[in-house]
């Protein structure tokens, strides 16, 4: 029993939490400094699919680790946060990936499981690389 409790406590100590900002401009500044892509989640407190996405997909350690290491995460809640007019707010949840120059490079709509969401992150990074290669030519 003691070994089990020790394992549970150890696991929780090393679990990654996603730092989520709720200010787009602050996130954009941080993305420029850290040279990362932005992931913007548009959600609502009343949306069952938003809740399901946050309680399932965003709780997977593989997703949390990747988001924490590779992206600046911003969650904007409809009716609470200031949302730039470049983002559509219905239907939700909406997912936007942007580069540090404020350009949307990939967007998607709706609930996604961890496998599909992981592919969203891959697609965003691939598109960003292609855009950077085009600029270098």
Assess contact for 38 and 71: CB atoms under 8 A.
Answer: yes
Greater confidence (137 vs 108) lies with 108
Q: How far is 77 from 7, CA to CA, in rounded Å?
A: 36
Query: Residue 66: beta bridge partners?
Result: none
Q: Which domains does the chain have, with CATH numbers?
A: 19-136 (3.40.30.10)
pLDDT for the residue 130: 87
pLDDT for the residue 45: 94
DSSP summary character for residue 60: S
Query: Residue 89: beta bridge partners?
Result: none
Distance of CA 35 to the CA centre of its chain: 15
Q: How far is 64 from 85, CA to CA, in rounded Å?
A: 28
Segment 81-98, tens digit of pLDDT: 999 999 999 999 999 999
Assess contact for 42 and 94: CB atoms under 8 A.
Answer: yes
pLDDT for the residue 12: 44
Assess contact for 92 and 40: CB atoms under 8 A.
Answer: no
Q: Could you count the other beta carbons within 10 Å of the beta carbon of residue 122?
A: 12
Segment 22-37, tens digit of pLDDT: 999 999 999 999 999 9
- Its pTM stands at 0.84
Distance of CA 36 to the CA centre of its chain: 12
Segment 2-55, tens digit of pLDDT: 544 444 444 444 467 888 989 999 999 999 999 999 999 999 999 999 999 999
Q: By percentage, how much of the chain surpasses pLDDT 70?
A: 87
Residue 56 has pLDDT above 90, yes or no: yes
């Amino acid at each position: 029993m003691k070994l089990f409790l020790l394992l549970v406590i150890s696991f929780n100590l090393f679990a990654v939490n996603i730092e989520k900002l709720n200010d787009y401009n602050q996130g954009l500044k941080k993305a420029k400094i850290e040279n990362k892509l932005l992931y913007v989640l548009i959600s609502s407190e009343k949306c069952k699919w938003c809740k399901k996405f946050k309680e399932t997909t965003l709780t997977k350690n593989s997703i949390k680790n990747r988001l924490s290491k590779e992206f600046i995460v911003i969650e904007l809640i409809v009716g609470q946060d200031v949302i730039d007019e470049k983002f559509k707010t219905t239907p939700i949840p909406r997912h936007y990936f942007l580069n540090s120059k404020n350009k949307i490079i990939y967007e998607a709509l709706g609930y996604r499981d961890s496998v599909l969401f992981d592919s969203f992150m891959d697609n965003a990074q691939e598109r960003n690389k292609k855009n950077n290669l085009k600029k270098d030519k």
